[in-house]
């Protein structure tokens, strides 16, 4: 069965955290199936180089090394996207990082700051920079990648969950403030089978325990997350804003 087509040909996307996992799958779909133009951002040049070689998308792909928690890096990222392609139609805030924190109350404040900076502050800075261009264009879409951890306390993911909860609140705030020209939504996966979450699902006992809490009986794959993200960027979602779509196999209904 082939992929759905969302009519995104020629549109310009900025995807943060695009060199692996969910981000890489989003970029792959955009350049291969949608014929979109993509600015792929990641922190490490090595990861960017590997992604560019794998995707082989030529002039439709621009890779930029940036740390999204740094304002100057973000401003450069969005400026180069605009200078290269002449517009920014959609921003996908995909960057996520976690340091396992068995006790949030006992965590080092530096750990708290790093997780909040990368997840919440990075999403804010990227949205802020992209929104300036989108407002001038009179249209644009922002899709944030959250997590069901934003609403469910999970072992080892306390600070991460707080950061994602902030992203969901930011989604609603920006949806109101940037309307009617810019739609802002979020997708909240359950655990996705990527390198990011490997410390959890690579242990058979932990994996089986997680599966017990998912009615559909498996972990999400990166491709499961791509479809709702692309839908939210399409004309089909033209009257949807300020929403968080759970993509969790039913985990949050238990």
Active site residues: 160
**63 sits in which H/E element:** strand 61-65
**Phi, psi (5° rounding) for residue 143?**
-125, 120
N- to C-terminal Cα separation, the chain = 31
Q: How far apart are CA 251 and CA 214, in angstroms?
A: 5
Q: Within its chain, how far is the Cα of 148 from the centroid?
A: 13
Contact between residue 240 and residue 212 where contact means Cβ atoms under 8 Å apart: no
Q: How far apart are CA 227 and CA 194, in angstroms?
A: 17
Q: What is the strand order of the sheet 61-65 is part of?
A: 61-65, 37-42, 12-16, 90-93, 140-145, 182-189, 244-247
Contact between residue 185 and residue 175 where contact means Cβ atoms under 8 Å apart: yes
Question: Which residue pairs from 223-228 have beta carbons closer than 8 angstroms and sit at least 24 positions apart in sequence?
Answer: 223/25, 224/189, 224/192, 225/22, 225/25, 225/26, 225/145, 225/187, 225/189, 225/192, 226/22, 226/25, 226/26, 226/29, 227/4, 228/187
Q: Which residues pair with 65 in a beta bridge?
A: 42
Q: How far apart are CA 177 and CA 171, in angstroms?
A: 10
């Amino acid at each position: 069965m082939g992929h759905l087509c969302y009519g995104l040909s020629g549109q310009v996307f900025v995807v943060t955290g695009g060199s692996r996992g969910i981000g890489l799958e989003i970029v792959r779909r955009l350049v291969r199936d949608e014929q979109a133009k993509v600015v792929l951002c990641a922190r490490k040049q090595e990861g960017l180089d590997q992604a560019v070689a794998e995707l082989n998308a030529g002039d439709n792909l621009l890779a930029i090394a940036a740390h999204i928690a740094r304002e100057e890096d973000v401003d450069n990222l969005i400026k180069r996207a605009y200078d290269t392609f002449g517009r920014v139609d959609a921003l996908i805030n995909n960057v996520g990082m976690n340091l396992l924190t068995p006790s949030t109350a006992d965590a080092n404040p530096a750990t708290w700051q790093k997780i909040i900076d990368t997840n919440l502050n990075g999403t804010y800075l990227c949205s802020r920079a992209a929104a300036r261009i989108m407002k001038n264009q009179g249209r644009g879409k922002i899709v944030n990648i959250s997590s069901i951890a934003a609403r469910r306390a999970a072992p080892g993911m306390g600070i991460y969950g707080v950061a994602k909860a902030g992203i969901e609140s930011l989604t609603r705030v920006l949806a109101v403030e940037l309307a009617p020209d810019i739609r802002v939504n979020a997708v909240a996966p359950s655990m996705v089978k990527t390198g990011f979450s490997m410390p959890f699902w690579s242990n058979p006992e932990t994996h089986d325990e997680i599966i017990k809490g998912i009615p559909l009986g498996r972990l999400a794959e990166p491709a499961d997350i791509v479809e709702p993200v692309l839908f939210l960027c399409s004309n089909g979602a033209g009257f949807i804003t300020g929403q968080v779509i759970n993509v969790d196999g039913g985990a949050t209904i238990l």
